[in-house]
Amino acid sequence: MKAIAKKHQAIILVLLGAVMISFSAVWVKIVDVPPTSSAFYRALFGGIFLIFPVILTEKLQRPRAIDIALITTCGLAFALDLFFWHKSILYIGPGLATIIGNFQVFIMAGVGIFFFKEKILPRFFFSIPLALLGLAFIVGNSWQELGSDYKTGVLYGFFTALSYSVFLLTLRKLQIRKSPFYSTLMAISLTCGIFLLPVLAIENVSLAIPNLQSLISLVCLGLFSQSVGWSLIAYAMPRIPASITGLVLLLQPSLSFVWDILFFKRPTDPGNLLGVCLTLGAIYLGMTSKKKTPKA
């Protein structure tokens, strides 16, 4: 009974974390600052908020050289992820930008096949064309008919997926090395912010926060999306089956699309909704296509 209760508790924590992260694109959409600026504040505020669990639960240790290199790589990948994703939100909206960003599932699986010799179920190879078909239904027009900004937003979404994949692969390496959890997340967040500073300078973007709404949104972005949401998911994921984790994590892109419709009046017809269902189904197939290693 205790094991079942702990499993249910873990599922609730993952659900809560996924809901929190689903609002990320909403906070980005409503702030009155440029995309790169909101990305910088997400990393900065997230890193600051993570200081508290570091102080309360971990002892500060001098990081090893390999860990510094991995954290730097992870921070750079996360900076690219936020840069492309926040701009994609601006061009194609929170829902579609988040769904395309979750195509990292297919990149991660591909890396597992070709570099780590992981065994993949045949349904994975069905999931990729299914995802692209669903994306075509969501977009609703041929590529040639789309405006230049919309095309840029879609491409930035795929760059998001690529950057996010590098981030996750590097983070997994850090986890395998048993690096302190909160300290690592804090260092990655702050490193990400450092990498975004020269981009802000190149774009000549101001870091001024113009109003209270923007300040509240940026704080929520850093607190709930960057700190609490990811902490809940990372804590609970090892405690529940991968298939359930994959299903629950689909809440993030699903709810992001729902928020896009409810809050920002995204035009949506039955064909678009069919595309969303097809794409999310394909992402789930991709998430759960890794074969289980038999126990000795």
Q: What is the pLDDT of residues 10-37, one digit of tens each?
A: 888 888 988 999 999 999 999 999 999 9
Q: Is residue 283 part of a domain?
A: yes
Question: pLDDT band for position 288 (50/70/90)?
Answer: confident
Q: Bigger pLDDT: 86 or 121?
A: 86
- Residue 57: count other Cβ atoms within 10 Å of its Cβ: 11
| Cα–Cα distance for residue pair 104/120, rounded to 1 Å | 16
Whether residue 232 is contained in a domain is answered as yes
Q: Is the CB of residue 214 less than 8 Å from the CB of residue 91?
A: no
Helix or strand holding residue 251 (H, E): helix 251-264
Token pair of 192, please?
A: 């990400």
CA–CA separation, 195 vs 198, rounded Å?
Answer: 7
∠51-214-260 over CA atoms, to 5°?
100
DSSP label at residue 144: G
Q: Is residue 292 a part of any domain in this protein? A: no
As for how many domains the chain has, the answer is 1
Q: Tens digits of per-residue pLDDT, 223-247?
A: 999 899 888 887 777 777 766 667 7
Lowest mean pLDDT among 41-55, 89-103, 134-148, 149-163: 134-148
Measured distance between the N- and C-terminal CA atoms of the chain, rounded to whole angstroms: 26
Give the closest residue to 14 by CA, choosing from 171, 260, 246, 254.
246
294 within domain boundaries: no
Q: What proportions of the chain, in percent to the nearest 5, are helix, strand and coil? A: 80, 0, 20
Asked if residue 260 is part of any domain, the answer here is yes
Question: Is 132 part of any domain?
Answer: yes
Residues 176-186: pLDDT tens digits? 888 888 999 99
Can you say whether residue 179 is alpha, beta or left, with left for phi > 0 and alpha for psi between -120 and 50 degrees?
A: beta
Whole-number Cα distances in Å, 225 to 20, 171, 235? 6, 17, 15
Domain membership flag for residue 293: no
Degrees to nearest 5, angle at CA 176 with 173 and 179: 90
Q: How far apart are CA 12 and CA 209, in angstroms?
A: 35
| pLDDT at 151 exceeding the cut of 90 | yes
- Indicate if the pLDDT at residue 295 is higher than 50: no
To the question of pTM greater than 0.75 for the whole model, the response is yes
Give the dihedral of Cα atoms 159, 163, 168, 171; nearest 10 deg.
-170
Residue 296 included in any domain? no
Print the domain residue range for 66: 2-287
Planar angle of CA 124, 252, 99, nearest 5 degrees = 55
